[in-house]
Protein backbone atom coordinates (compact mmCIF):
# COMPACT_ATOMS: atom_id res chain seq x y z
CA UNK A 1 0.00 0.00 0.00
CA UNK A 2 1.41 3.39 -1.01
CA UNK A 3 1.20 6.58 1.02
CA UNK A 4 -1.40 7.90 -1.41
CA UNK A 5 -3.54 4.80 -0.85
CA UNK A 6 -3.16 5.17 2.92
CA UNK A 7 -4.01 8.89 2.95
CA UNK A 8 -7.81 8.48 3.48
CA UNK A 9 -7.24 6.11 6.39
CA UNK A 10 -4.69 8.46 7.97
CA UNK A 11 -7.08 11.38 7.57
CA UNK A 12 -9.88 9.42 9.26
CA UNK A 13 -7.52 8.40 12.08
CA UNK A 14 -6.38 12.02 12.48
CA UNK A 15 -10.02 13.10 12.72
CA UNK A 16 -10.42 10.52 15.48
CA UNK A 17 -7.56 12.21 17.35
CA UNK A 18 -4.48 10.30 16.20
CA UNK A 19 -1.51 12.65 16.24
CA UNK A 20 0.58 9.86 14.68
CA UNK A 21 -1.75 9.63 11.66
CA UNK A 22 -1.70 13.40 11.28
CA UNK A 23 2.09 13.30 11.48
CA UNK A 24 2.10 10.88 8.56
CA UNK A 25 -0.06 13.29 6.56
CA UNK A 26 2.33 16.12 7.40
CA UNK A 27 5.30 14.02 6.37
CA UNK A 28 3.57 13.06 3.13
CA UNK A 29 2.74 16.65 2.08
CA UNK A 30 5.33 18.77 3.87
CA UNK A 31 7.90 19.10 1.10
CA UNK A 32 5.39 19.92 -1.66
CA UNK A 33 3.58 22.43 0.56
CA UNK A 34 6.80 24.21 1.53
CA UNK A 35 7.90 24.32 -2.12
CA UNK A 36 4.56 25.86 -3.11
CA UNK A 37 4.81 28.45 -0.33
CA UNK A 38 8.47 29.26 -1.09
CA UNK A 39 7.44 30.18 -4.60
CA UNK A 40 4.58 32.34 -3.33
CA UNK A 41 6.30 34.02 -0.39
CA UNK A 42 9.98 33.05 -0.05
CA UNK A 43 10.62 34.96 3.17
CA UNK A 44 7.53 33.64 4.95
CA UNK A 45 7.24 30.12 3.56
CA UNK A 46 8.36 28.19 6.63
CA UNK A 47 6.14 30.22 8.96
CA UNK A 48 3.18 29.83 6.62
CA UNK A 49 3.75 26.08 6.38
CA UNK A 50 3.85 25.81 10.17
CA UNK A 51 0.67 27.89 10.50
CA UNK A 52 -0.98 25.71 7.87
CA UNK A 53 -0.20 22.46 9.66
CA UNK A 54 -1.22 23.83 13.06
CA UNK A 55 -4.50 25.14 11.64
CA UNK A 56 -5.14 21.83 9.83
CA UNK A 57 -4.60 19.87 13.05
CA UNK A 58 -6.80 22.20 15.08
CA UNK A 59 -9.56 22.06 12.45
CA UNK A 60 -9.23 18.48 11.21
CA UNK A 61 -12.88 17.92 12.17
CA UNK A 62 -13.84 20.25 9.28
CA UNK A 63 -12.13 18.01 6.74
CA UNK A 64 -14.55 16.07 4.54
CA UNK A 65 -13.14 12.52 4.34
CA UNK A 66 -15.01 11.97 1.05
CA UNK A 67 -12.62 14.46 -0.57
CA UNK A 68 -8.84 14.34 -1.06
CA UNK A 69 -6.73 15.72 1.78
CA UNK A 70 -4.09 17.47 -0.34
CA UNK A 71 -6.34 20.18 -1.87
CA UNK A 72 -7.85 20.88 1.57
CA UNK A 73 -4.37 21.33 3.06
CA UNK A 74 -3.07 23.49 0.21
CA UNK A 75 -6.28 25.54 0.41
CA UNK A 76 -5.45 26.34 4.02
CA UNK A 77 -1.93 27.38 2.96
CA UNK A 78 -3.33 29.62 0.21
CA UNK A 79 -5.70 31.33 2.68
CA UNK A 80 -2.88 31.80 5.20
CA UNK A 81 -0.77 33.41 2.47
CA UNK A 82 -3.61 35.74 1.46
CA UNK A 83 -4.39 36.66 5.09
CA UNK A 84 -0.74 37.52 5.66
CA UNK A 85 -0.58 39.61 2.51
CA UNK A 86 -3.76 41.52 3.43
CA UNK A 87 -2.33 42.15 6.91
CA UNK A 88 0.88 43.50 5.41
CA UNK A 89 -1.02 45.89 3.16
CA UNK A 90 -3.22 47.05 6.07
CA UNK A 91 -0.12 47.73 8.19
CA UNK A 92 1.45 49.77 5.41
CA UNK A 93 -1.73 51.75 4.90
CA UNK A 94 -2.00 52.50 8.62
CA UNK A 95 1.57 53.74 8.61
CA UNK A 96 0.84 55.99 5.66
CA UNK A 97 3.50 54.42 3.46
CA UNK A 98 1.38 52.28 1.17
CA UNK A 99 1.94 54.34 -1.94
CA UNK A 100 5.71 54.30 -1.47
CA UNK A 101 6.20 50.74 -0.25
CA UNK A 102 3.90 48.64 -2.42
CA UNK A 103 6.13 47.09 -5.06
CA UNK A 104 5.70 48.45 -8.57
CA UNK A 105 4.56 46.18 -11.35
CA UNK A 106 7.50 44.17 -12.56
CA UNK A 107 8.85 45.61 -15.84
CA UNK A 108 11.62 43.37 -17.15
CA UNK A 109 14.49 44.79 -19.13
CA UNK A 110 13.90 43.41 -22.64
CA UNK A 111 17.63 42.89 -23.04
CA UNK A 112 17.83 40.48 -20.14
CA UNK A 113 16.96 36.83 -20.20
CA UNK A 114 14.69 36.31 -17.18
CA UNK A 115 14.77 33.29 -14.98
CA UNK A 116 11.66 31.35 -14.11
CA UNK A 117 11.50 32.54 -10.50
CA UNK A 118 11.44 36.22 -11.48
CA UNK A 119 8.80 35.70 -14.14
CA UNK A 120 6.64 33.62 -11.83
CA UNK A 121 6.92 36.23 -9.09
CA UNK A 122 5.58 38.87 -11.49
CA UNK A 123 2.32 37.00 -12.10
CA UNK A 124 -0.82 38.05 -10.20
CA UNK A 125 -1.10 35.98 -6.99
CA UNK A 126 -4.08 33.81 -8.00
CA UNK A 127 -2.58 33.13 -11.42
CA UNK A 128 0.79 32.30 -9.85
CA UNK A 129 -0.83 29.98 -7.29
CA UNK A 130 -2.85 28.13 -9.96
CA UNK A 131 0.24 27.77 -12.14
CA UNK A 132 2.42 26.58 -9.26
CA UNK A 133 -0.14 24.04 -8.10
CA UNK A 134 -0.83 22.61 -11.56
CA UNK A 135 2.65 22.74 -13.07
CA UNK A 136 4.85 22.71 -9.97
CA UNK A 137 2.89 20.45 -7.61
CA UNK A 138 1.16 18.29 -10.23
CA UNK A 139 -2.35 19.16 -9.05
CA UNK A 140 -5.18 18.54 -11.47
CA UNK A 141 -7.13 21.64 -12.45
CA UNK A 142 -9.98 20.36 -10.27
CA UNK A 143 -7.70 19.92 -7.24
CA UNK A 144 -6.26 23.42 -7.73
CA UNK A 145 -9.77 24.86 -8.05
CA UNK A 146 -10.72 23.20 -4.78
CA UNK A 147 -7.56 24.35 -2.99
CA UNK A 148 -7.89 27.95 -4.21
CA UNK A 149 -11.69 28.08 -3.87
CA UNK A 150 -11.97 29.21 -7.49
CA UNK A 151 -14.18 27.96 -10.31
CA UNK A 152 -12.60 25.27 -12.46
CA UNK A 153 -12.74 27.45 -15.58
CA UNK A 154 -10.95 30.27 -13.77
CA UNK A 155 -8.13 27.94 -12.75
CA UNK A 156 -7.82 26.64 -16.31
CA UNK A 157 -7.64 30.23 -17.58
CA UNK A 158 -5.08 31.21 -14.94
CA UNK A 159 -2.87 28.26 -15.85
CA UNK A 160 -3.14 28.90 -19.59
CA UNK A 161 -2.49 32.64 -19.29
CA UNK A 162 0.31 32.15 -16.79
CA UNK A 163 1.96 29.58 -19.02
CA UNK A 164 1.70 31.94 -22.00
CA UNK A 165 3.32 34.73 -19.98
CA UNK A 166 6.13 32.43 -18.84
CA UNK A 167 6.84 31.23 -22.35
CA UNK A 168 6.77 34.77 -23.75
CA UNK A 169 8.97 36.20 -20.99
CA UNK A 170 11.49 33.43 -21.32
CA UNK A 171 11.69 33.96 -25.08
CA UNK A 172 10.30 30.56 -25.99
CA UNK A 173 7.73 29.39 -28.44
CA UNK A 174 4.51 27.75 -27.31
CA UNK A 175 4.01 25.80 -30.49
Q: What is the pLDDT of residues 2-52, one digit of tens each?
A: 777 889 999 999 999 999 999 999 999 999 999 999 998 888 999 999 999
Domain total in the chain: 2
- Give yes or no for a contact between 60 and 52, defined as CB atoms under 8 angstroms apart: no
Residue after which a domain boundary falls, among 46, 72, 102: 102
Nearest to 135 by CA among 110, 166, 99, 113: 166
Looking at residue 51, its pLDDT comes to 95
pTM: 0.67
Q: Please, where are the H alpha helices in the chain?
A: 3-15, 19-40, 45-58, 69-95, 98-101, 116-122, 125-131, 141-148, 152-169
96 and 11 within one domain: yes
CATH number, position 174: 1.10.10.10
Per-residue pLDDT of the chain in tens (175 residues, 90 and over written 9): 777 788 999 999 999 999 999 999 999 999 999 999 999 888 899 999 999 999 999 999 999 988 999 999 999 999 999 987 755 555 444 555 444 444 444 444 444 434 667 778 888 999 999 999 998 888 999 999 999 999 999 999 999 998 888 888 767 665 5
What is the domain extent for residue 137?
108-175
61 and 142 within one domain: no
Amino acid sequence: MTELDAEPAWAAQAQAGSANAFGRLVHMHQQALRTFLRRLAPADADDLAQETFVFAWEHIARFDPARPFRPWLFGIAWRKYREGKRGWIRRLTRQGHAAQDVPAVFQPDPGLRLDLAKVTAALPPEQRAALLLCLGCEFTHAEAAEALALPLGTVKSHVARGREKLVAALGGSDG
